[in-house]
Amino acid sequence: MKFIAVLTLLLLNACFLFAQKTFTVSSPSSSVLLQVSQKVDGSLYYAVKFKRKNVIIPSMLGLKFSNPAVTLSAFQITSVDSLTKNETWKPVWGETSSIRNHYKELKLTLIEKSGSDIQVTITFRVFNDGVGFRYEFPQQPNLNHFILADELTQFALTGDHKTFWIPGDYDSNEYLYNTSRLSEIDALTASTQEPDIAVKSVFDANAVQTPLMMKSADGLYISLHEAALINYPAMNLVLDKKNFTFTTHLVPDAAGNKAYLQTPARTPWRTILISDKATDILDSKMILNLNDPSVIDDPSWIKPQKFIGVWWEMHIGKGTWDLASGKHAANTENVKRYIDFASRFGFDGVLVEGWNVGWEDWFGNWKENVFDFITPYSDYDIQYLTAYAKQKGVRIIMHHETSGSVTNYERWMEKAYQYMVDHDMNAVKTGYVGKIIPRGEHHDGQWMVNHYQRVAEKTASYKIMLDAHEPVRSTGLHRTYPNWLASEAARGSEFNNAGKLGMTPEHTTILPFTRLLGGPMDFTPGLFHLQLNQFEKNRTQRVRSTLAKQLALYITMYSPLQMAADLPENYEKYLDAFQFIVDVPVDWDDSRTLEGEPGDFITIVRKAKGKDDWYLGAITDENSRSLKITLDFLETGRKYEAFIYRDSEKADWETNPESYTIEKRVVTSKTKLNIWLANGGGCAIRIIMLPK
């Protein structure tokens, strides 16, 4: 087995020996090396090394069109350009207040060789922590409209890496992660073990989604993903287990085509993020750097924020979304109670789900016109609540569940956003539960990718912030559309309440290494009542986390939009712990991952924007752990007061999850902390600079 692997490696490297041309680009610090080679038949291959170790061995580049019917796999190189970029830019909000974009670029201008004369350029950017590349089709006489049958891009890996994967699926990303060798990937079996996912379309046992996280035997952390997914379908990867090579598989449309493009056109960036330290993966800005700058000239209306919501009480059976049940949660009195609570603790927003007519038959009937997004239920006095919220200094967050009827939503969109403006709302949570009707498009196909972008643009034109649930996975577009604060696009906290598998303690130690590499997630942390049979006695589901870990998630799961997901009455029981959620910021000057291992643990510190205060979050999986850290990120010579929210000695997610301890102590940059995290536990620390 080993011998065969070595032989394959030798043969693949031999390809380069017989190559007609080879171009080599090293990253600014020389840690990453890209080699692009062309064989005598005109085919193009790329390979990537990190600190002299192979990461991607020669892998094919190319595309296949169905109309015109051309395979672009052999090329004539007409020009080669290179440049170096070193700039710093400031995001509207984020984990750090400034971002360095430093790379070397190689641009190959090509003509397809078999007679089509189609022009294409491939641009490679080589960063110190990885590589991004994309195909571009300039405007040209021989190519105007064209249809893509697939992309032929491959990622050939060096061995049977440990992999954190979810099934390749055209519609859902709400899976638990599987951890296995590449050779053990079985997407079909994994998906049949997930009965609680509303709509699934897994197409191949060897297919996985990105961001895909891997760890090689020689200690490299490798993530494959894409950046700037615009006017194109999402990329799944199908593994050839004989040689550990992934081939791109784009999400099709209802007719089986992959993408309809018109020149000038370009694909998203294909990204390979690499480090020998897991912590560097979490601190990478490569995906953001590959996205275009913000299109919003005056972003002053965009505000990172925390919110509460008439939400979890429906998920755990206290109330319902629909009116007919007699337990309608979004009634004027109840919403008023949430507004009071938000105002008392300084939250900006109150999400109200189930406010609008249609929830009686919203799911499973696949009717087109269930919701109109402008008609409240009779017991929801929107005029009164708008005025009341305003008086209390709080804003109601709009909810637009489309139930997959996206053409219907497109018809109502403008009216719905105007309705929000008229009622003083400037943030919307959208949702795409179920099959996309009427045509049967997929959640991750080009048509829906364009829809999500249209929503981001239209909401921006009404000065509305966006939180999308059930959309395609994130690819850094929040740089271009900073009003798109967050997406769900993964298994969020709501799955703590879902039937068979729920949410494992390790899930939150994997998400930052996978889904979050593309952008912020509306995970909805902050559950304090961890047995979920509070209102329905037969409910067996529970949150597999300690209460202290729920606090730590506000740091380890970065988002400029953070929910305090539990019910006001549950927070009232633990107001001392709730204080951390009240205090924790959502926008930062600086962030540093102190330690981390996907599937095991993560510790991150962040500095509050414009302040001298730091916040630390540490989480562990199902195993308890001793956190040993020195606070050397603090300013030397200054004293700070630390508020430590940790698991008590007896805490355990299974037997004693709500047991925590809060300590206050003076610390400096020399302080060494030694804190125990329970099974499924965590720790959150607020560190405030004291006056001199």
Where do contacts with Ca ion occur on this chain (CB under 5 A)? 469
Tally of CB atoms within 10 A around 512 = 23
For residue 677, list its beta bridge partners.
625
Interacting positions 267-306 with ligand NOJ (CB under 6 A): none
Please report how close the Cβ of residue 433 comes to Ca ion at its closest, in angstroms.
Answer: 7
Six-digit token string for 303: 């505000």
Rounded distance between C-alpha atoms, residue 326 and residue 324, angstroms: 5
Question: Least separation, in Å, of the C-beta of 404 and Ca ion?
Answer: 12
CB of 8 to ligand NOJ, least distance (A): 44
Say how many residues touch ligand NOJ, by CB under 6 A.
Answer: 8
Q: Which is nearer to ligand NOJ, 285 or 491 (CB)?
A: 491
**Closer residue to ligand NOJ, CB minimum distance, 237 or 314:** 314
> Based on CB atoms, which residue is closest to ligand NOJ, 322 or 353?
353
The 310-349 contact track toward ligand NOJ, x by CB under 6 A, reads -x--------------------------------------
Residue 353, binding choice from ligand NOJ, Ca ion, none, Cβ under 5 to 8 Å by partner class:
ligand NOJ
Q: Could you confirm whether 622 is annotated as catalytic? A: no
Closest CA to 426 of 476, 474, 460, 382: 460
Q: Which does 471 bind (CB under 5 to 8 A by kind): Ca ion, ligand NOJ, none?
A: none
Query: 352 with 309: CB under 8 angstroms?
Result: yes
357 near ligand NOJ (CB under 6 A):
no
**Contacted entry of Ca ion, ligand NOJ, none for residue 606, CB cut-off 5 to 8 Å set by kind:** none
Tokens of residue 472, six digits = 């395609």
CB hemisphere CA count around 383 (13 angstroms) = 1
Neighbours of 466 (CB within 10 A): 25
Q: Edge to edge, what strands does the sheet with 660-667 contain?
A: 588-597, 601-608, 614-620, 682-689, 640-647, 660-667
CB of 511 to ligand NOJ, least distance (A): 15
Please identify, using beta-carbon distances, which residue of 501 and 594 lies nearer to ligand NOJ: 501
Q: Which does 165 bind (CB under 5 to 8 A by kind): ligand NOJ, Ca ion, none?
A: none
Shortest Cβ 172–ligand NOJ spacing (Å): 11
3-state secondary structure of 538: coil
CA distance 235 to 170: 10
168, 202 contact by CB (below 8 A): yes
Minimal distance in Å, beta carbon 432 to ligand NOJ?
9
* 3-class DSSP assignment, residue 280: helix
Rounded-to-integer distance, Cα 126 and Cα 31, Å: 10
Q: In what order do the strands lie in the sheet with 484-487?
A: 484-487, 465-468, 427-431, 395-401, 349-352, 305-310, 561-563
The smaller minimum CB distance to ligand NOJ, of residues 127 and 311, is found at 311
Per DSSP, 183 falls in state G
Among the listed residues 494, 597, 622, 641, the single catalytic one is 494
Q: Report helix, strand or coil for 581.
A: helix
Nearer to ligand NOJ by Cβ, of 172 and 291: the residue is 172
Give the residue with the Cβ less far from ligand NOJ, 95 or 401. 401
Query: Residue 530 has which token pair?
Result: 């961890």
The pairing of strands 63-67 and 145-151 is antiparallel
Instruction: CB nearer to ligand NOJ: give 131 or 199.
Output: 199
Question: Cβ of residue 557: shortest distance to ligand NOJ, in angstroms?
Answer: 15
Among 313, 353, 444, 467, which residue interacts with ligand NOJ (rule: CB under 6 A)? 353
The Cα 281–Cα 132 span in angstroms is 15
Beta strands in 523-631 (DSSP E): 561-563, 588-597, 601-608, 614-620, 625-630
- Under rule CB under 6 A, residue 469 binds ligand NOJ: yes
String of b and e for 41-55 (b: at least 16 CB within 10 Å)?
ebbbbbbbbbeeebb
279-290 in b/e burial notation, b at 16+ Cβ within 10 A?
bbbbbbbbbbbb
Report what 348 binds from ligand NOJ, Ca ion, none; CB cut-off 5-8 Å by kind.
Answer: none
Residue 492's CB is within 10 A of a number of other CB atoms, namely 22
Binding site partner of 322, from Ca ion, ligand NOJ, none, Cβ cut-off 5-8 A by kind:
none
Query: Could you say whether residue 401 binds ligand NOJ (CB under 6 A)?
Result: yes
* Residue 178, CB-side half-sphere exposure with 13 Å CA sphere: 22
Cβ proximity to Ca ion, 225 vs 469, nearer residue: 469
Interacting residues with ligand NOJ between 475 and 494 (CB under 6 A)? 488, 494
Q: Judged by CB, which is closer to Ca ion: 252, or 471?
A: 471
Nearer to Ca ion, 469 or 479 (CB): 469
Select the binding partner of residue 253 from Ca ion, ligand NOJ, none (C-beta < 5 to 8 A, by kind). none
Measured CA to CA, the distance from residue 53 to residue 40 in angstroms comes to: 26
Q: Which residues make Cβ contacts (< 8 Å) with residue 594, sequence separation at least 6?
A: 279, 603, 604, 605, 629
Which amino acid belongs to residue 422? D
- Beta carbon of residue 486, minimum distance to ligand NOJ (angstroms, whole number): 12
Asked if 467 interacts with ligand NOJ (CB under 6 A), we say no
End-to-end CA distance of the chain: 65
Q: Residue 431 interacts with ligand NOJ (CB under 6 A)?
A: yes
Q: Which does 401 bind (CB under 5 to 8 A by kind): ligand NOJ, Ca ion, none?
A: ligand NOJ
From ligand NOJ, Ca ion, none, which one binds at residue 595 (CB under 5 to 8 Å depending on kind)?
none
417 binds, among Ca ion, ligand NOJ, none (CB under 5 to 8 A by kind): none
DSSP 517: G
DSSP 198-238: SS--B--TTEEESSEEEE-TTS-EEEEEEE---SSPPEEEE
- CA-CA distances (angstroms) from residue 182 to 47, 160, 166, 177? 19, 5, 12, 13
- In this structure, what token pair is assigned to residue 35? 């080699």
Element (H, E) at 154: strand 154-157
Give min distance, CB of 470 to Ca ion, in A. 5
CB of 174 to Ca ion, least distance (A): 6
State the binding string over 488-527 for ligand NOJ (x if CB under 6 A, else -).
Answer: x-----x---------------------------------
Locus of tokens 């050839």: 240
**Smallest gap from residue 464 Cβ to ligand NOJ (A):** 18
431 binds, among ligand NOJ, Ca ion, none (CB under 5 to 8 A by kind): ligand NOJ
* Active site positions, annotated: 494
Interaction site with ligand NOJ (CB under 6 A):
311, 353, 401, 431, 433, 469, 488, 494
